[in-house]
Amino acid sequence: MKKKNISTILVMILLILSLVGCDSRNKVKEEGKFYIVTTTTMLADATRIIGGDYVVVTGLMGPGIDPHLYKASAGDVIAMQKADMVVFTGLHLEGKMGEVFENLNKLNKKTIKVSNGVDESVLLQSEDKSLAHDPHIWFDVSLWKDAVSELANGIKELDPEHSEEYENNLNKYLTELDELDAYIKNRALELDEEKRVLITAHDAFNYFGQAYGFQVKGIQGISTSSEAGTRDLRNLANFIVENEIKAIFIESSVPTKNIEALKEAVEAQGFDVKIGGELYSDSLGDGKSGDDTYIKTFTKNIDTIVDALK
């Protein structure tokens, strides 16, 4: 089916669902709350914290879901149409949903792209030709502070009556993020500079590396839609052996096969590298893991990295 036809169909679906969703939306309004739909788990967490008692939040992507490959379902379209506001990261993180966001804007649905809060001059360039910038901004806490401040501005515009409460929630959260940032920096300093080498399944951690002094290498590119080749694995295996890297890391939202293949390629050269643990990259943890907030997730990541590389 041609792209133009798909776009037309989506617009028609959204128009029809604007009527279907009225009852549910009115119920939320009767409770004095605003219904906000977010894409990623990181955004759902931040929206609940800043919105507090005045919002009901639905996150489209659950724990372990890869936003690079995520396609909106019919149920997602319904949820977004019912929402008072839709929140997404931008920078093509939600690469398969761009057309949906465009159609929401055409229908005057309020959307917030949190990456608009980050100064473009500090965004990292992407080696992936399909992306202008690296979208993984949450791995530098200072940039995530800018993103959640943009989110807070959007919520205040949606509900000016409670702006003071939203501002108080934001300021409290920014203080907690400053504490997180300090913790990450202190833990990183436990490693000698030459040991601060982070090797993962895909290039999600470049902002982390720049902010906290790590050399970062991924098997795949910034987007998991790219494929890793034999040469990529071989070159990275050579690097691990030459630099005697102790550990490499799997990711919660990316299949483990490439990291396992890398481990085998290293061991074929007579060097033993361990899998240092699982890192959260494009998703938070779940309630069972206890790592279901941004702060808990990032704390778990830095503890896993430092403990494995010591």
Digit-coded pLDDT (tens) for 205-246: 999 999 999 999 988 765 555 555 677 788 999 999 999 999
- Give yes or no on whether 3-183 and 185-309 have one common fold: yes
pTM attached to this predicted model: 0.87
How much is the pLDDT for 229? 65
Domain ranges of the chain: 3-183, 185-309
260-266: average pLDDT: 94
Q: State yes or no: pLDDT of 249 exceeds 80.
A: yes
Angular region, 100: left φ>0, alpha ψ -120 to 50, beta rest: alpha
How much is the pLDDT for 228? 59
Over the stretch 272-283, which tens digit does the pLDDT of each residue have? 999 999 999 999
CATH class of 3-183: alpha beta
How much is the pLDDT for 20? 46
How much is the pLDDT for 226? 55
Render the chain in DSSP notation, one character per residue: --HHHHHHHHHHHHHHHHHHTHHHHHHHHHTT-EEEEESSHHHHHHHHHHHGGGEEEEESS-TT--TTT----HHHHHHHHH-SEEEE--TTTTTT-HHHHHHHHHTT--EEEGGGGS-GGGSPB-SSTT-SB---GGGSHHHHHHHHHHHHHHHHHH-GGGHHHHHHHHHHHHHHHHHHHHHHHHHHTTS-GGG-EEEEEES--HHHHHHHT-EEEEEE-SSTTS---HHHHHHHHHHHHHHT--EEEEETTS-SHHHHHHHHHHHTTT---EEEEEE-SSS---TTTT--SHHHHHHHHHHHHHHHH-
64-68, 106-110, 173-177: range with highest mean pLDDT: 173-177
- Counting residues of the chain whose pLDDT is more than 90, the rounded percentage is 74
236-261: average pLDDT: 92
CA-CA distance, 307 to 190, in Å (whole number)?
9
How much is the pLDDT for 52? 97
246-263: average pLDDT: 91
Whether CATH 2.60.40.3080 fits 185-309: no
Over the stretch 105-156, which tens digit does the pLDDT of each residue have? 898 999 999 999 999 999 998 776 667 899 999 999 999 999 999 999 999 9
